[in-house]
Homo-oligomer: A and B are copies of this chain.
Amino acid sequence: MGVSLKDVAQRAGVSIKTVSNVVNNSPHVTPQMRARVQQAIDELGYRPNLTARHLRKGRTGIIAFAVPELGNPYFAELAGAVIDAAARHDYTVLVDHTAGLRERELLVCQEFRSHVIDGLILSPIHLETADLVARHETSPLVLLGEREYEAPYDQIAIDNVAAARTAVRHLLDLGRRRITFLGSRTGQERQPAHLRLRGWREELAAAGITPDESLVVTTEGYGRADGAAAVTALLERGERPDAVFAYNDLIALGAMRTLTERGLRIPEDVAVVGFDDIEESRYGATTLTTVSPDKQAIARLAVDRLVDRLSGKPVAGPQRIRPGYRLVVRESSGGAGQGPPPEEGARGAAGD
């Protein structure tokens, strides 16, 4: 169907190798030869078949980035950062979503797309250490996110316990005592929310407060609707928290919506702190205080790590890498009430 090197060679009256040299900008081609070949290329509309090149070279230049949900702005923003970081190394990114299903996480890190992607960056939710240990695939894998594994792969995640403690500390400093945690799942201690919940427990204990487990609210998912539902449930069973620490910004935003609907003022009656620092948290009627992981660093570290392994460079064994984070205080906890500062607000997403 397509035009191949052979066709071009025939047309230009040269050998395949010469055409290949021209296409690959080999220095050992005379200008007039280059011109002659180029003309044939243009006339025939030749385009190199990357699949064939990949087969020959044993690598494709594609890395996959698999996240639970693209609809969560945190991952969308992270994906953008990964694409940019990869582009700097001439890698293309295949963005994938697992919909938070264990089955799809397994598929992605197993044989799926074997030899089509050179490496994988995966943000798992349900994967177990055993799944990882049993992995057949030999292509490099970098893990992202809150879960920690005893498996021989690079893992990149901020210190979730410490970050959560910082958030809770902030609420305690504000004089809040009945701090609810939104986002744990029942009986799933190894679920993502685990570490942040532990931070909540530890910081409360450190402040001499016995963590009241009735203030921990189970959610089904990690979206705005879950945050809204959690607050509804909480209020209906008569709890009156003076602060909310949510597993992520989406849950926090959903919670804020319901709190406001119920006539509770933020932050006067209830202070709210989220996690992720998605752009949206800077633009609500009440801006959201949140733990801000350094997404650029996360993306860069993950891609660099992967590319190093891919390039065959001697790289140290699997590591746990801890990117930075910071607590961004905004209106929802009574912080600086002046709205988004110019430099933060300057980035604009493109339209449709």
Contact = CB atoms under 8 A, between A and B. Distances in A.
Interface of A: 1-2, 45, 47-52, 54-55, 58, 60, 62, 67-77, 79-80, 83, 92-97, 99-100, 111, 113-116, 123, 125, 136-137, 145-146, 183, 192-193, 219-226, 228, 247-248, 250, 253-254, 256-258, 260-261, 276, 279-280, 282-286, 339-340, 345-352
23 contacts: A45-B136, A47-B114, A50-B113, A51-B54, A52-B115, A62-B94, A69-B350, A70-B70, A70-B76, A71-B77, A72-B352, A83-B96, A83-B97, A123-B352, A146-B352, A221-B350, A222-B352, A223-B347, A224-B349, A225-B348, A248-B352, A257-B340, A261-B339
Contacts of A73: 71, 73, 76
Label chain A's interface by main secondary structure.
loop
Contacts of A283: 224, 228, 253-254, 257
A221 B71 CA distance: 21
B285 A352 contact: no
Number of copies: 2
Contacts of A96: 83, 92-93
Contacts of A76: 70-71, 73, 76
